[in-house]
Amino acid sequence: MSENIFITEERIEGADDGPLAGKTVAVKDNISTAGVRTTCGSKMLEEYVPPYDATVVARLKEAGATIVGKANMDEFGMGTTTETSYFGETDNPAAPGHVPGGSSGGSAAAVAAGEADLALGSDTGGSVRCPAAFCGVVGIKPTYGLVSRYGLVAYGNSLEQIGPFGETVEDAAALLDVIAGSDERDATTRSEGDDANYADAATGDVDGLQIGVPTELLEGADEGVVETFWDAIAELEDKGASYHEVSLPSVEHAVEAYYVIAMSEASSNLARFDGVRYGHSGGYDGNWNETFAKAREEGFGDEVKRRILLGTYALSAGYHDKYYKKAQDARAWVKQDFDEALTEADVLASPTMPVPPFELGESLDDPLKMYLADANTTPVNLADLPAISVPAGETDGLPVGLQLVGPAFGEERLIRAASALA
């Protein structure tokens, strides 16, 4: 197995039987695995070994899956390329020399390279869907509350969900069947997934399906990506679906609102990593303030530091209402727009990413370019809705993903539609 994909190669055997018996699964390295390092791709947690399993990991074991390792990721989930990991970058098996997407790039790469049948990632603003699109596999971002976040190292609590990767829609849906459902240890979970059978929904039947195409999510996209997107829509039309244009005016402000909220929550969540309670210690003998500062200076990478600083600023006295409160107002507007659009269509469709995979190193010196690449994915997290990315084809030999978005807890509808393509 490539060390670029797996930080650890501990093999965890599940039950002898169950719906995933015989299946191998890679687990993103921000999901707790008892007795196996969980580093979040950071020097800060380089040697951290959790004493407990995340709920999703416990469910994998019960379902008979074999966990083959922890998958590389952008440090603390902060990135779109899986290049900010302390352990090194991950290459894209579907497009060597290009990034696999992020922040769950190792998970998508593991499936694309055939090193795991399935994988788990987490999606705060597109971190399952982006790498699924860039690596040419399937990735599902569930409705907020469908999957337990117990044992997921927090980045942006109000935005993130654990989601599955698979080579096909049916494979990813079978993994969702295992991990979905309420959990008494996560008060945000709902019971909608307790008795669902998502794999059975992968019938490929799109006869009569009404697809809404938000015009705003095509603006500024790469020409080859847009052309590939329309080819996929035409394929769905050939199978009985129809499409019409819809509008989501609020998405113009979604990226800005998302990053204010996500960075603010990151600033709060990562305050616990001070080298005393958790994480790397700078070994400084001075006062507590200098000790904490030294640990964070050494333990966090540049992108994590950037987001903590911006989030702290947005939450600071005198700026909270100007930035954080305004971003929450924009979030409500985004959700309202999506809900209205989904009264006019069964699902919404767009390119998952407005650009094909970057070359390795291309975006590291331009964080804004990386942030803007999330334009089509972040609005879905703000709206708390489910989405799926499926392979749509290629442009210049590089994978392109189609994103479908559905109503809250409408995963079965999304899986049925997406399975017509993958």
* Tokens matching residue 165: 């990767």
**Residue type at 148?**
S
Going by their DSSP bridges, the two strands 66-71 and 210-214 should be labelled as unpaired
By residue count, the chain amounts to 422
Residue 316 has a CB neighbour count (10 Å cut-off) of: 12
CB neighbour class for 247 (10 Å; exposed up to 12, middle 13-18, buried from 19): middle
What is d(CA 181, CA 108) in angstroms, rounded to the nearest whole number? 23
Contacts of 185 (CB under 8 A, 6+ apart): 55, 148, 150
Q: Which of 28, 61, 70, 141 is catalytic?
A: 28
* Tokens matching residue 71: 């998958």
- Among 376, 372, 398, which Cα is nearest to 389's? 376
- Please check whether residue 169 is in contact with residue 147, taking contact to mean a CB–CB distance below 8 angstroms: no
- Among 98, 69, 82, which Cα is nearest to 3's? 69
Task: Specify the DSSP element, H or E, that contains 264.
Answer: helix 254-269
Q: Which of 32, 42, 85, 103 is catalytic?
A: 103
Active-site annotation holds for 267: no
Q: Which of 32, 85, 127, 250 is catalytic?
A: 127
Active-site annotation holds for 43: no
Active-site annotation holds for 85: no
SS3 for 317-381 is: CCCHHHHHHHHHHHHHHHHHHHHHHCCCCCEEEEECCCCCCCECCCCCCCHHHHHHCCCCCHHHH
- Please check whether residue 229 is in contact with residue 222, taking contact to mean a CB–CB distance below 8 angstroms: no
CB neighbour class for 97 (10 Å; exposed up to 12, middle 13-18, buried from 19): exposed
Q: Which residues are catalytic?
A: 28, 103, 127
